[in-house]
Structure formats: structure tokens, C-alpha cells
Structure 1
Amino acid sequence: MPKIDHAPARRIKDFVRAVRTSGLYPQNPVVNSATTEPVVWVGGRDHLLFCSNNLLGLSNHPGVREAAAKALDRYGLGSGGSRQMAANIDVHRALEERIAEFLGQEDAICFAAGYMANVGSVPALMKLDRYLEIDQVKSVAPMEPGCGPGWEIFSEELNHASLVDGVRLARAEVSRFPHRDMAALAGLLEASEAPSKFIVSDGVFSMDGDIAPVPELAALAREHDAMLMIDDAHGVGMLGQGGRGSLEHLGVGTEEVDLQMGTFTKAFGGIGGYVAGDAELVDFLRISARTYIFSAPLPPSIAAGVAESIDIAEREPWRREKALENAAFFRREANALGYDTLGSAFHIVPVLIGGEAEAAEATRRLRHRGIVAPHARFPAVPLGRARIRFVMTCQHDREQIGYLLKCLAELRQAD
């Protein structure tokens, strides 16, 4: 039976066809091997992969795989429900305690994805006043998204999409401040009449690879009696003497930041997200974050594997050291070729291309040379600022990076 032909669907299909015709539709290759390794099998031949988030090479580590396999054998594939129903399993609680201990926080709450951690936590915090209006919390139940009176959120303009969406769902008054501009943030905080202020910022910015001025953010939060949340998805496991993230790297104590969000997808080679902080703040999220209450948690095998990954990352600092050394080498050589790496400082090294069509063509040319490195374009980055976002892991060697640099040099000569 033919599908009903109606105008809304036709408009959507016409748009997709136009994007395909323009050459801007993402042509992501189908990979026929693990995408956690630096060499992958695509289209019948090996390709070098420079976009994997498996930064420390832990996804396929024998110890991690063994821990996950044992949990799979014991618990099965899924979790069987939400944490507040059937699935408050011991392995989930053990992971929360382990990540809290690693970060030096009192407690942590885990979500099925880092995205869910942000889009669940930010709106939940904004609902506090509405809870207090309900007969002095005699009836505590998950509420529809919506902000109580008196909150204003101060959001960094380059925050990750998950933070941006969390802020939107909160339905609070929002003031965006320019990238790393503490004078502008101070002015916004000074002008605000909101009784409750909430500052949110990435720690390491995912598309530029630079770091937030966390000490200054913490100082402004103290000065203006504001809550501060740092999304350290790209910092934890990679920065700081013990790999505890941008706070440790910049000498900021955990007591200076109310909530520290992160993921298990990057340094720890798994999937899932968490928010860590004081125990009572975390407990509040357990009774108010809709993406926690109304969603199944991580599969138990993933939770067990990630806990083992944290242990390995902590006792093998050479992994993050090598990843950062690889990134420093690549950044230096890419700059020498005349590329703009946008002030990146760590394992994320963007190479600015500019136009969307030009970036798509650069990605295709690299793919032809056996390199998988998708480009980022609007709306992930501003119009005219498209880039190829290279990620260096501890598994890349200098020969592989050298070949990438050779290909980038050839691209520049062709232009």
C-alpha cells in the first residue's frame, strides 16, 4: 500500500534531497571493524581513524573486556527497568561510588548517556522552587519541565549541545556570555536581579579544544552567590596530574564547583554520563531528573567495564601522557603547514577550513587517501567556521600522524 502523500512529509523530503544535491549531506563511512582502534576496515581496505573518542585505548583493554564479560554473564544484557523500579543494581551503585571517589566528590549519579545527564540535570535544578510550592514537599514527584520563579542561567556561548538543550528545557531566564569572557560574565551577574543564579560551562570545549577559565568562574560564582556546574566530559581522564579533569589541571578544589558533569565515553572507553557533587545535591537529582527517573540505566556489563577502566586509567598515567604528546606534535606540525588550530591545547585539535562545502570536500579527499576524519559544520560550529576535528589518542603512533600531516600538506598545495 502506498504511503499517504501529504505536504509536511514532502517538504522534509525535498529538503533532504537539496542537502544531498549540495554535497553537504554527511557521508559517514560504514566501518566493518571496531571503531575504537586507530586502524579500521572500511570499503575493503584499512583506513586511519582520527575521530575516535577512545582516548586512552581502554575500550578493548583485556581487563575491561573481562570485567564486562563477567557482568554480562551474571546480569544479562539489559537492566530490566529504571533505577527507581527494578534496576537499582549493585554494579550501578558501585560505579557511582567509584567515579565520585576518583573525582574527590561526595557522590555521583549515573545516566545512560552524557547527553541525558545534562538535559536531565539542568532542568531538574531549576524546578526546586516549584517543588517547594507543593505543600512544603509533602508530595514529591517528577514534574513537567519548567522553571520556578527566581532563576537565571548564565551559559557559555560555546557550551556543548547537551548543555544548550538542558538550558532550553529549563525554561529559565538565560544570559549567554562570550567565549571565555569573564568581564562580560561579571557584568551580566552584576546586572542580574535574580535571587538564584546558575553558571554553566564546558571545561574543555569540544569543537575548539581549549579550556575554560575555571578559577575565574569559581571566583565569580562565590562573589555573586551563584551555583556553578562544569561539563568536564572532555577533561576528566585526560587533564590534571591524576587525570581528574580541568579542575585538577587548573588547581580548583572540588568544593569550589557545585556540580561536575562528565561522560564515560571519552577517556574511559565506554558509554554513559554522570553528575558528581555534594551528596544532597546528587540526591535531589535522583528525585527530580526526568532522564534518570524515566529511563533505563546503563547495561550492567557497561557499568562493570567502565569501573575497571577508571582503575586502569588511574594506575597507568602513560596513556593520557602519550595522547597529549601526540596532540602536541600534531598541533605544532599542522600550524607549521599554515593551518589554524584555533588555540587548542589538548587532545582535540581542530583544523579550520572555513566554508561548509570546502570542509566537506576536504573530508572526501582525506577519505580517498585512507583517512577517516569527518568535518564539523553549522550548526555544530558557526557558519563559515567549518573545521575538521582531529582527536589524538594514546594508540596513534608518529608514523600514522606523519601520514596525516603529509595528506594535509597535499590538500593545502592543491588549494
Structure 2
Amino acid sequence: MTQSFGLSATARTALLQRLSRRGGKEDEAAPAESPGRDLSTLPGLRDIEMVREAGAALGLENPYFRPHEGVAGARTVIGGRDFLNYASYNYLGLNGDPRIAAAAKAAIDRHGVSASASRLASGERPVHGALEAALAANYAAEACLTFVSGHATNVTVIGQLMGARDLILHDQLIHNSAAEGARLSGARRVAFPHNDWRAAERELAAHRRRHGRALLVLEGHYSMDGDVPDLPRFAALAREHDALLMVDEAHALGVLGATGRGSFEQCGIAPDAVDIWMGTLSKTLSACGGYIAGRQPLIDLLRHAAPGFVYSVGLAPPLAAAALASLQAMQAEPWRVAKLQANAALFLRLAREAGFDTGSSAGLGIVPVILGSSVAAARMAAALFEAGVNVQPILFPVVPERSARLRFFLSAEHTEEEIARTVAALVAARGGAAVARVV
């Protein structure tokens, strides 16, 4: 039987009929809009309403957009209640660290809150150059450039570098930002099965000669599954087929490698085996924005031609200062990376021993608990929330209906005892038992 959001086709039809009846009543009360101005017919809006109705029919509270009342790290406060938190990318516990806050405050005192305009138009702030030099050094790269948004970094960089005569080959689970950049570029876009370097090689062999440039795009650490690619294999096939290799390190910096330098350290390859290193400032680095590190000609072009840099405000000085201070703390305190990886490995082991499907997670920072239907995932998340554990369900259509899941982001700040209590709460919730308050 066809299912959506874990509902049978009959239940789904009933929900749509309820929506139709409700919409009709609203239409009677409101003046009719012309078709071109009727916002209720925007693409995707009906699906959002259907999911909202399904949650209400099942008695499930919307788990998204909950306001956190303090720093959201391994622990958080929501609605005046304490929670163990697994819905934060604060991997090393640096967001909220007094040193990071002090660096941001000092930058505000010196430069104000905003860069006010693009760096091309209004000039640099010293902290921009210092951050970019430190990020370039992390990848042993010639240069680096920062942007105000991680999502926009992939969109504008891929959109700028590639064109209609080119080929973009990417993992089928690549982040939306890279997919949007590929679409913007107009290049031919080919997806290969997740982490399958042999399939990628077949696609390159089949299509490479018919195109000008080729770009192979991967992630160093996939946020839905917590797994990693065979980077040495992908690097070798990129060189063999005269393709550029781009790796998105959004969830890899601070998480992968003995000292958190990222996927090249984890896989034991030279960083120059990758042509374009992309990452974000909003996770391990406690700020907001994105960056590209690589060879000097690449950075020179982006500084003067990438629309998302040239026509966008520069990175806010306090964010640049926070990111720089976080990177320095990561480098000075490798115990944070070791603790994060130990916590993730412990969570992964305990979850598997309890019989949960954790997919292909490497147990480095991200561990999914795959439950199947969206209803099962939503109900489990609600039960855990009642017990004092905040974890987000990932539901259809973000993932296929059969692979709806809870996604646990571990932190260096979690304790072993907290992790054990969390897995015990998962077991109780799976059995339908009342879950004891964890916090």
C-alpha cells in the first residue's frame, strides 16, 4: 500500500479531503484572489499543510522551531525545562565558551556589529584576513575566502565556476546547497549512488570527454547518515579523469581526524589531493558563514567575480572573530575532538547493542537511529522530548518514507552517563513504556 508520512493511502485521502473542506470555508470568508496572486496555491504549500494536519490528527506537537532560552549545546533549556540536547552542531562545545564570546565582543568594540557592505566596496577588516589565513593553513592551502552563508557559498561558487559546457558529478546525498549551485551553473548534472566511487568512475568514463571542465562534489561527513567517503579513491579517479574535486567539510571540520582538521586527516591523504575545500563557520567554529580554501587563482577569481561575495555584505566582524577564536581553541585543545569521537562511538555502540538501526554511521559525530515510518520517528521524538531529550526527527520527504529517523548530533560536552541514559530512554520509548524523565 502506498504510504506518505507513514499514513495509508486511505488516511492520506481523508486528510486531503479535510484540507479541501477547510480551504473551501476559508475561501468563502476571504475575497477571491486572481490566480497569479493567490499565494495559497504556491508549489509545496499544500504538502506542508497536509503534514501539519497529519501531526494534529495524531496528536503530535510540531518538533521544529522550538525556542531555546540559552546556549544550545549538549544541554539546553526549552520552555523553562532542562533537556539533554542532540539537535545542535556545537560539536566541540565552543559556542558559549567565554573565550569565544570575548573575541566576538572585542571585535564589536573595535569594528561594530556589521561590515556594512561588501568587502570589495567597503574594504577589509583585519579579522577577515586573519581568519582566512588560519583556515588556509588548516588545509595547507595557498588561500581562503569567507562568505556570509554556508549555503550561499556552495550556490555561488559552483554557479560561478561551472557553465553550460561543463559536467558536475556528485553524490546523490549531496547537500541542497551544492545541488542548487549545480542547477544555477547550467552544467550537466549527474548523481551517483551514495559513496559509490566505482559508480562515480563509470559516470566519469561515460561523460567526461563530451564536456569542458568536470567537477566531482562530495561531502567529507554526511549529516543524514554520519558516514564518510573513501576520499583517496575519489581523489585518484578525479585526477585520472582530469576533474576538479570539491569536498564539503561542513560537518567534518572539528569532527574528523585526530586533531579535527577534517576528512584529509581522517583518511590520511595530503590536503592538496582536493582542489576545492568548502566548509561552514556555523558548526564547530561557533559563528555563521562559509569558506573556500584552495589554490590562489581560484580564490582570486572568487574574490572578484563570485556574486555571493562581490554583491553581498562582508562577514560580520564579531562572527569572523568568533570563528577564528574557535579554530584556535580546537587546535590548542585536541582533547575536545577526542572526547567528541569517543562520545559518538559510545552512542553508536550502545544503540546497536540495543538493536537500533544506525545505518552506515562511522560514529564520529553523527548517529542516526532509523525507525522506518515518519509517524514512528515523530512519535519517538515526542516521547523522548517528554523525557527530557531533545532530538529532531527527519521525516518524509526529506528522506524516503522507509528511512525516517532520529538524528543524534553528539558533543564533546556530553557525558558517558548522559549517553547511556539517552539510549535507555530510546529503548523504553520503542517498547511503548512510559519514559522516565532523563533530566
Q: Normalising by structure 2, report the TM-score.
A: 0.86
Contact 1:200 1:230 (8 Å CA) reproduced: yes
The answer for the alignment partner of 1:279 in structure 2 is 296
Once the two structures are TM-superposed, the CA of residue 88 in structure 1 deviates from its matched residue by 2.4
The whole-number CA distance in structure 2 between the counterparts of 1:80 and 1:204 is 34
1:130-169 per-residue CA deviation (whole Å, 9 max, x = no partner) reads xxxxxxxxxxxxxxxxx242x1111111111111111111
Q: 1:174 aligns with which of 189, 199, 202?
A: 189
2:397 maps to 1:400 = no
Once the two structures are TM-superposed, the CA of residue 309 in structure 1 deviates from its matched residue by 0.9
The answer for the alignment partner of 1:142 in structure 2 is none
Once the two structures are TM-superposed, the CA of residue 18 in structure 1 deviates from its matched residue by 2.6
Task: Please state whether the residue corresponding to 1:414 is helix, strand or coil.
Answer: coil
Relative to structure 1, the CA distance from residue 3 to residue 72 in structure 2 (aligned partners, 3 Å threshold; closer, same or farther) is farther
Task: Please state whether the residue corresponding to 1:228 is helix, strand or coil.
Answer: strand
Amino acid at match of 1:226: A
Amino acid at match of 2:355: G
The count of residues paired between Structure 1 and Structure 2 equals 393
2:257 maps to 1:225 = no
The answer for the alignment partner of 1:18 in structure 2 is 50
2:121 maps to 1:103 = no
Amino acid at match of 1:338: G
1:43-86 per-residue CA deviation (whole Å, 9 max, x = no partner) reads 22211111111111111111111111110111111111011111
The answer for the alignment partner of 2:203 in structure 1 is 188
2:245 maps to 1:213 = no
Q: Normalising by structure 1, report the TM-score.
A: 0.90
Amino acid at match of 2:101: R
2:177 maps to 1:153 = no
Task: Please show how residues 5-404 of structure 1 align to structure 2 within 5 Å.
Answer: 5-6=32-33, 8-12=38-42, 15-23=47-55, 26-28=62-64, 30-126=66-162, 147-149=163-165, 151-192=166-207, 193-345=210-362, 346-404=364-422
Amino acid at match of 1:215: P
1:110-138 per-residue CA deviation (whole Å, 9 max, x = no partner) reads 01121111011101101xxxxxxxxxxxx
Task: Please state whether the residue corresponding to 2:119 is helix, strand or coil.
Answer: coil
Identity %: 36
1:355-400 per-residue CA deviation (whole Å, 9 max, x = no partner) reads 1122111111111111110111233322321111001101111222
The whole-number CA distance in structure 1 between the counterparts of 2:130 and 2:276 is 20
The whole-number CA distance in structure 2 between the counterparts of 1:47 and 1:227 is 44
CA RMSD in angstroms comes to 1.8
Contact 1:206 1:234 (8 Å CA) reproduced: yes
The whole-number CA distance in structure 2 between the counterparts of 1:306 and 1:255 is 23
Gaps of 5+ in 1: 127-146
1:224-280 per-residue CA deviation (whole Å, 9 max, x = no partner) reads 111110111111122123321001111121221110001112212222110100011
Once the two structures are TM-superposed, the CA of residue 331 in structure 1 deviates from its matched residue by 0.6
1:321-375 per-residue CA deviation (whole Å, 9 max, x = no partner) reads 1011011111101001110111211110000011112211111111111111011
Contact 2:140 2:272 (8 Å CA) reproduced: no
2:428 maps to 1:410 = yes
Gaps of 5+ in 2: 1-28, 434-439
Amino acid at match of 1:172: A
The answer for the alignment partner of 1:139 in structure 2 is none
Task: Please state whether the residue corresponding to 1:207 is helix, strand or coil.
Answer: coil
Contact 1:114 1:262 (8 Å CA) reproduced: yes
Once the two structures are TM-superposed, the CA of residue 175 in structure 1 deviates from its matched residue by 1.1
Relative to structure 1, the CA distance from residue 263 to residue 14 in structure 2 (aligned partners, 3 Å threshold; closer, same or farther) is closer
Moved more, 319-328 or 92-101: 92-101
Runs (4 or more) in structure 1 with deviation over 4 Å come to: 12-16
